[in-house]
Structure 1
Amino acid sequence: MKCLPMKKALPLILLSCLFLCACGKSPGASSANAPKASVSSEKSTEKGTWDNTPKVLVPSADGTESYTCDAATIDASNSSSGYIIVDYHGSNDKVKLQITGPDSITYTFDLHGGSEVFPLVAQSGSYNVSVFENVEGTQYASILSQNIQVSITDEFGPYLYPNQYVNFNADSLAVQKGSDLAYYCSSDTEVVESVYNYIITNFKYDYDKAANVKSGYLPDIDKVFTENTGICFDYAAVMATMLRTQAIPTRLEVGYVGEEYHAWISTYINDVGWINGIIEFNGSTWNLLDPTFASTSDSPKDFIAKDSDYITKYVY
């Protein structure tokens, strides 16, 4: 473990993985009040066989494997479950975390003080985790850097626990709504479809927010859920919350759909595997269709994308 002094300022290359232009106006969407996608009005009135009890996993910093310096602590006690917890308790206003996994992809996050959870998405192997404090301008100094050997015992762990981007707890409003929507379901496919239909019929895309959102923005899931409006990042975080707490592994993904920088989700369906890009199920086959495009158009079928159209850059 290294705890480097701030004497030597190191330039920190900040990867732009948030959505300054990510959620621009979708083709065919004429306004924030564009007609919603139509869905079937038929709904069972009887309890399905799906266990809709919320399954809210709680990350824990046990202290059995931790690395620390004066201003920060990295707790990797439960890295086998696919996450670490970083606690910044210093006084610097601009603090960054970088995680580089065995796939050599570097993720950069803002730290906001206190304990925050971050997923380990490159599976097992060596991860470098580094905390940087701002010196001046765009110059940052490393104050804590550690190589951590990770052996993931549950490949779905990173996509079931909450983290900084998909931040929920047992009291989150979206968790209870996800349970309500799953009440009538009898399979994971039905749960996904029910959550998907709820989002595209009840949420309105916020074009002003998309045009003005700043780097470092994180979804407030309760706020987004209460206001029923948001950008693609918000849609994805709320849906991921609903599905993760129904024990359905769900990835929040960021990348490109055509030329649009965008956010969507992928889900793991039993006996099918990972379905990349949020999906529409017609009873026999799956079609790729992400919820932002669906909710902002009166003809969501126009936005069905091929798997190759979704270019994933980051996974959370």
Structure 2
Amino acid sequence: MSLSSEVILENNKLPKEVTIEYKSFCKNEVNGTGDEGRKCSNISIGDEVSFEIKVTANQCPEKGQDETIKIKPLGFTEEVEINLEFICECECHKDGIPDSPICSHGSGPFECGACRCKPGRIGKLCECSMDEVNSEDISSTCRRANSSEICSNNGECICGQCVCRKRENANEIYSGRFCECDNFNCDRSDGLLCGGHGECKCRECECAENYTGSACDCYMDTAPCEAGNGQICNGRGICKCGVCNCTDPKFTGPTCELCPTCLGFFAESKVAMTSEQMSQWPHQNQQKSQEVKRETARAKSCQAKR
């Protein structure tokens, strides 16, 4: 059961010269504008929603003083303050450059450090034509569904299209329609991107042949697990990522060839023995067996005497 099923934003009284617009980005990719942009419904604990707020000064206030707008969710004490500072005139206004080349080859005058676009042109530098851009809100096509981030915060929206930011390292590249991809934020192994065995594409590793795993750190070839007798892990284990996992707890070693607790056992394929050692092996084993029998008989004799 959720503590609040609906989030509604409210603001204090606005100056008559100021208007405010809300846009909501709710769960399940439900977006709202106008009055619906103030709220998100069917919200449960842990859900995340976001709002975009646009404040417009339609004209300078009569008194010319600064204003403060307070916005908060209905029923909550937390609030956001927006301080409005009206700049109605500036010294540079009279020194504006008409039809400035800065403003997309004369698409408007350059005044007070900004372009004032001619009718039919929009954009920071008047670079966009209203005929080319479908929406007055040209940034809307630069946002992913249910997100308020412009170009994933990795680029700039120009004429409704994302132009991804360049990084200091030229080999590190942002890409994708919303600059949501990159080739440097993948998992690493041994300090190497994709373990040095793959390529980072859109934040996921595409592994080279015979490698798998999120960081391409798992070697699928079974050759390292093959014993001298041709068996994988000597038939006593499973080859995983090029390493034998011995299923018989008595055995160990790179190919499960060693058994430290096995009497008279030597490692297949790993221990090289001379012909002399091989000829002595049955005799040595027989001697050890006889010694064990003598020790056992002696122990029983001692127990009988007691």
**Same fold, judged at TM 0.5 (above):** no
Q: What is the TM-score normalised by the length of structure 2?
A: 0.20
Larger relative contact order, structure 1 or 2 (CA cutoff 8 Å, min sep 6)? 1
Q: What is the TM-score normalised by the length of structure 1?
A: 0.20
